């Protein structure tokens, strides 16, 4: 099993460009998450999908959109990138019950110039 | 509302000495609590979790944590630090629905040879 995979690993964008970060999991998990990690701030939740067909905003959703394409895949889109979106982005997945931990992908390092 | 406070942003220990990483949480319900570790330029790996069973939880690589409800704490300990323990550590608490995870800002552990 590959676990949680993310593409791309690195990306450089110019201000105003758009892009989609891809995430897939092969563990048959119900819930999927997108986080951003910035120095000194831990991980902050952008959006999550508790189950296939549902998405909800997290702590920092502005400037992002998501699509839960199917049970395996959950994408994050930046429509018009801004320098403030320079960050490391992590996707995670888990089974739905509260005792189940999250499994993380390797991350995407995004720089917006 | 739930929140997590990691009391030290940076901890340095000598190899072979004990490790203590402190975490306090705020919650109006009985949460699940987790500790994750992140090695440089890597994703996050689960160290251990508390899910309302035993209050002393053992994890991987010799780490353990004790849930103290009266002190709202979930401190991470290890009897003897190893060079490979040098990493960033995150304390995490679930929301009341169990759908969202709230991360502390992290503690960077340095191990001095």
pLDDT digits (tens, 9 = 90+) for A28-66: 999 999 999 998 888 999 999 998 889 999 999 999 999
pLDDT digits (tens, 9 = 90+) for B24-46: 998 878 788 999 999 988 889 99
One DSSP character per residue, chain B reads --EEEES-SEEEEETTS-EEE-EEEE-SS---EEEEEE-TT--EEEEEEE-SS-SEEE-GGG-EEEEETTTTEEEEEESS--GGG-EEEEEEEE-TTSS-EEE---EEEEEE-
Q: Is the distance from CB of A105 to CB of A43 less than 8 angstroms?
A: no
**What's the pLDDT score for residue A20?**
97
CA distance to partner chain B, nearest, from residue A40 (Å): 6
Q: What angle do CA B106, B28, A98 make, to 5 degrees?
A: 65
**What's the pLDDT score for residue B53?**
74
Chain B environment of A43 (Cβ under 8 Å): 44, 90, 103
CA distance to partner chain B, nearest, from residue A97 (Å): 7
**For A31, which residue in chain B has the nearest alpha carbon?**
B99
**For B91, which residue in chain A has the nearest alpha carbon?**
A42
Distance, in Å, from the CA atom of A23 to the CA atom of A81, rounded to the nearest integer, reads 19
**What's the pLDDT score for residue B97?**
79
């Amino acid at each position: 099993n590959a676990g949680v995979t993310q593409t791309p690993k690195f990306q450089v964008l110019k201000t105003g460009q758009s892009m989609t970060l891809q995430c897939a999991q092969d563990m048959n998990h119900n819930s999927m998450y997108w986080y951003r990690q910035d120095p000194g701030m831990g991980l902050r939740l952008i959006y999550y999908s508790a189950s296939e067909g549902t998405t909800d905003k997290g702590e920092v959703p502005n400037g992002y959109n998501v699509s839960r394409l199917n049970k395996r895949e959950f994408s994050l889109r930046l429509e018009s990138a801004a320098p403030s979106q320079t960050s490391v982005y992590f996707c995670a997945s888990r089974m739905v019950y509260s005792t189940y931990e999250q499994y993380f992908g390797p991350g995407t390092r995004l720089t917006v110039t | 509302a739930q929140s997590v406070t990691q009391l030290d942003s940076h901890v340095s220990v000598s190899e072979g000495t004990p490790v203590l990483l402190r975490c306090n949480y705020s919650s109006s319900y009985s949460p699940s609590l987790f500790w994750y570790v992140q090695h440089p330029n890597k994703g996050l790996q689960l160290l251990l979790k508390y899910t309302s069973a035993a209050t002393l939880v053992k994890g991987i690589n010799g780490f353990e944590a004790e849930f103290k409800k009266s002190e709202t704490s979930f401190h991470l300990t290890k009897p003897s630090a190893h060079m490979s323990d040098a990493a960033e550590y995150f304390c995490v608490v679930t929301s009341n629905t169990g759908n969202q995870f709230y991360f502390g800002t992290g503690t960077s552990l340095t191990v001095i040879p």
